[in-house]
Amino acid sequence: MARSAWFSAAVALGLGVTLAGCGEKTPVADTGDWRSGIKEIRMAVSGSNDDPRIVKRRSLYRARLSEAIGLPVKLYESSDYNGVIQALSSGQVDLAQMAGGGYANVDAQIGPLAAPILTTRQAEGGTGYYSTIVVRADSPIRTLADMKGRSLGYVDFNSTSGYLVPRARLREEGIDPDTYFGKTSFAGGHTQAVMALANGQFDGAILQASGGDPVNGFSRGALHTMARRKLVDLKDFRIIWTAGPIPSEAFVVRTDRPQPLIDTVRGTMGALPYDEPDLWVDVGQLDGSAYTSVTREHYKDVIALRAADIAQRRGQGGRP
C-alpha cells in the first residue's frame, strides 16, 4: 500500500475533504478482538498541502499507524481549524492533530471524552513555540508602540499562536487588543496571513515561529516554509514582538475508543523518531526532537486563556 496514496490523490485532484461528511463515528467492539467491527481509523488534520514535508510527514504517520494498528488509517484534512475541532468533538474521527487552542475548544465541548496524549519535545527539552507580530522590512514600524492605530491580521479564532496567546500577552502588557489597533481581521491561516502582509493588506500580522527563540532567531514557521518554496524572501519581513513559549500541538484522541487503540497510537508515534531518525528529520522534524506524553494538565493555561478571552469578547460585544 503506497504511503502517500490518500494525499497524492487529494493534491492531484485539488479536492478539499469536508469533515462533516466523514460519516458515522467508529464503533467500539464489545467483545473479542477490539478491532472487530471497525473498518478504519480516522484521523483529522488541519492546514493545506503547501509544504511538501508536511504532506510527507502525514503520509508517514498514516502508514506507520496502519501497520501498527492492523487497520486502514484515513486522514481527513480541513482547510480551517474548526473543521478538525468539530470532527473530533462530534466523534466523526478517532484522533486528531491540533494546537492547544483547538484542544481547548474541544475540551470546552466534550471535556474528558477527548484527551491529548503526545506532543513534540525539542532536543533541548522544550515543548513549545512562539507567536510573533511580523511587519514588512520596508515598513516604518519597528516596535509594538508603532503598531498603535495600525491594521493587524490574526490567523484564526481557534489559532493558539495566531490569536489566543498574543491577545492574552498583550493584555498582560497593558494593551487592549480590541482598541489598540486601528483594524483587525482574520486571514484564515498562517500562509494566508503571510501573503496578506506581503501584499499590503495588513500593517502587521500574527505568525507562528519555532525552531529557536527570540534571542537567537527562528528557523521554522510559515515565513520559513514559504521562503523555502521561494514564495517570499525572509529579508522582506521583520519580527517586532514575540510571545511564548506556547505548548506545542498534540495528538488528541477520543477516550471512548478502545484503550488498545489509544495505547498503540501513543507507542507507535512515540517510537517513530527512534526507529527511523533519518526519516524523522526528512519529514521536517528537528534533529534530536521526539514525542513525549502529555495530559490535559499540559494545556491548562491555554484552556484558561481561551475561557478568559471569550468572556472578554462577550463583555465587549464580540469584536475580534
Residue 257 is predicted with a pLDDT of 95
In our burial notation (b when 16+ CB lie closer than 10 A, e otherwise), range 237-249 reads: bbbbbbbbbbbbb
Contact criterion met (CB below 8 Å) for 118 and 251: yes
CA angle, corner 257, sides to 252 and 260, nearest 5? 95
The separation between CA 293 and the C-alpha centre of its own chain, rounded to angstroms, equals 17
Q: Pairing mode, if any, of strands 204-210 and 128-136?
A: antiparallel
- pLDDT the model gives residue 196: 93
Q: State the pLDDT at residue 47.
A: 64
**Which pLDDT value is given to residue 159?**
86
Closest among 128, 162, 158, 118 to 250, alpha carbons compared: 118
What are the average pLDDT values for consecutive 10-residue runs of the chain, which has 320 residues? 32 32 41 81 77 78 91 88 93 93 94 95 77 95 96 90 92 94 91 91 93 84 86 94 91 96 94 88 80 94 90 65
- At residue 87, what are phi and psi to the nearest 5 degrees? -65, -45
Measuring CA to CA, how many Å separate 262 from each of 5, 34, 107, 175, 255? 24, 12, 18, 42, 8
Predicted pLDDT of residue 316: 60
Which residue from 161, 309, 187, 153 is spatially nearest to 249, judged by alpha carbons?
161
First to last CA, the chain: 45
Q: Which residues of 25-61 are buried (b: 16+ CB within 10 A; e: fewer)?
A: bbeeeeeeebeeebeebbbbbbbeeebeebbbbbbbb
**260/307 Cα distance (integer angstroms):** 33
| C-alpha angle 292-297-303 in degrees, rounded to nearest 5 | 115
pTM: 0.77
Is residue 73 within a helix (H) or strand (E), and if so which, with residue range?
A: strand 73-78
